[in-house]
């Protein structure tokens, strides 16, 4: 199972990197691919893990003095991602969702 | 591997996720299985609720989310099907052998909020609470934060059932001796004056 998490961080570049690092830490050790600069596809074993990651992301976003927005897709059990991505991101995404 | 006590499980996997002010207030501890609340006649249940309306909505959404997660995850995990009912708790009890729990404890990382101990205990707590509400409609969720401090509450008997704590105790040493299903059935008997 997998979902896509996209972020918008209204801050300067240095803070954006720091905040992104904090947001990424919310995924823990679950496999993920950075599909775009501020968008990740994350593979999880089930809905309970997805719910708890969602909670951590929202808490982390709200805790920042800057405006941080988070958008998550529903949890998906199948399907293909489409788009234009860096080659390594596209390859990694295929592997990740193939296994999911 | 001997399983830890329920208090040790709570301190390892749940306590770190409580807000710092809760730690300062000494409010981070594993709740009892149930509490009888002193509530003078005519007093609104709201006095038991320490959350703001926004906090209440957020906690309620998390409890509902974890119940939904159990509905989605358990059929594959436990081989259950259909509408959740006591049979789901029985399947959970059958699945949660000491060996399986010990295996989960070996790999569960407490620094991750989405670790299997916390996730499964919260799914079990939320599902058990949902089942109690359906079996005894006079009850209601009394939500708290973090959401696993939420309980189901019966106004008639003024009893607060800490269903998430039941699930933590189920994963602890001696947990198999007090299965979730038995706790659920005992609670219903108590509420029905049996």
CATH number at residue A53: 3.30.70.240
Inter-residue contact B176 to B8 (CB < 8 Å):
no
Query: A63 to chain B, minimum CA–CA distance in Å?
Result: 12
State whether B73 and A54 contact (CB < 8 Å): no
Measured between beta carbons, which residues in chain B are less than 8 angstroms from residue A49? Answer: 114, 119
Average pLDDT, chain A: 93
Average pLDDT (A71-82) is 90
Q: How sure is the predictor about A82, in pLDDT bands with cuts at 50, 70 and 90?
A: confident
- pLDDT score of A99: 60
- pLDDT by residue for chain B (194 residues), tens digit each? 789 999 999 999 999 999 899 899 888 999 999 999 887 777 877 788 889 999 999 999 999 999 999 999 999 999 999 999 999 999 999 999 999 999 999 999 999 888 999 999 999 999 999 999 999 988 999 999 999 999 999 988 889 999 999 999 999 999 999 999 999 999 999 988 86
Which B positions 154-183 lie with beta carbon below 8 A of chain A? none
- pLDDT score of B193: 82
Nearest alpha-carbon partner for B172 in B48, B5, B2: B5
**Which tokens sit at B121?**
């205990």
Inter-residue contact B51 to B145 (CB < 8 Å):
yes
| Single pTM value for the model | 0.92
Inter-residue contact B89 to B180 (CB < 8 Å):
yes
Question: How many other C-beta atoms lie within 10 A of the C-beta of residue B6?
Answer: 20
The radius of gyration of chain B from alpha carbons, rounded to an integer in Å, stands at 16
Question: How many other C-beta atoms lie within 10 A of the C-beta of residue B109?
Answer: 13
Q: How sure is the predictor about A79, in pLDDT bands with cuts at 50, 70 and 90?
A: confident
- Sheet containing strand B139-142, strands side by side: B34-36, B159-161, B151-154, B139-142
- pLDDT score of A94: 83
Q: What is the ipTM of this complex?
A: 0.84
- Domain hosting A21: range is 2-99
- pLDDT score of B138: 86
Place of tokens 């399983």: B3
- pLDDT score of A100: 53
Q: How far is A82 from B103, CA to CA, in rounded Å?
A: 38
User: A5: part of which helix (H) or strand (E)?
Assistant: strand A2-10
Q: Which residues contact B14 (CB under 8 A, 6 or more apart)?
A: B30, B118, B146, B148, B168
Strands (DSSP E) found in B31-184: 34-36, 139-142, 151-154, 159-161
State whether A53 and B113 contact (CB < 8 Å): yes
Q: What is the pLDDT of residues A34-62, one digit of tens each?
A: 999 999 999 999 999 999 999 999 999 99
- pLDDT score of A2: 95
The structural domain count of chain A equals 1
- Between A17 and A98, where is the model more confident? A17
Q: Which one of A28, A44, A55 has the shortest CB-CB distance to B62?
A: A55
CB contact A47 to B (< 8 Å): yes
């Amino acid at each position: 199972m997998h979902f896509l998490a996209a972020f918008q961080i209204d801050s300067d570049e240095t803070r954006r990197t720091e905040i992104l690092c904090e947001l990424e830490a919310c995924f823990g050790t679950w496999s993920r691919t950075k599909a775009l600069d501020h968008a990740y596809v994350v593979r999880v074993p089930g809905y309970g893990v997805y719910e708890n990651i969602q909670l951590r992301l929202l808490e982390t976003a709200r805790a920042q003095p800057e405006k941080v927005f988070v958008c998550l897709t529903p949890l998906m059990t199948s399907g293909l991602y489409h788009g234009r991505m860096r080659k390594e991101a596209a390859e990694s995404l295929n592997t990740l969702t193939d296994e999911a | 591997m001997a399983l830890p006590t329920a208090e040790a499980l709570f301190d390892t996997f749940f306590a770190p996720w409580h807000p710092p002010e809760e730690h300062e207030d000494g409010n981070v501890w594993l709740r009892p299985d149930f509490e009888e609340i002193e509530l003078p006649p005519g007093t609104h249940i709201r006095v038991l609720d320490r959350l703001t309306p926004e906090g209440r909505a957020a906690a309620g959404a998390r409890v509902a989310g974890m119940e939904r997660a159990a509905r989605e995850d358990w059929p594959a995990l436990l081989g259950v099907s259909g509408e959740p009912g006591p049979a789901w708790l029985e399947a959970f009890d059958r699945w949660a052998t000491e060996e399986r729990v010990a295996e989960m404890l070996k790999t569960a990382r407490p620094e991750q909020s989405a670790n299997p101990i916390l996730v499964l205990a919260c799914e079990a707590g939320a599902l058990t609470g949902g089942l109690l509400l359906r079996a005894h409609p006079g009850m209601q969720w009394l939500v708290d934060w973090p959401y696993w401090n939420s309980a189901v509450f019966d106004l008639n008997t003024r009893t607060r059932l800490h269903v998430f704590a039941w699930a933590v105790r189920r994963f602890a040493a001696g947990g198999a001796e007090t299965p979730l299903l038995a706790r659920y059935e005992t609670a219903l008997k108590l509420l029905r004056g049996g």
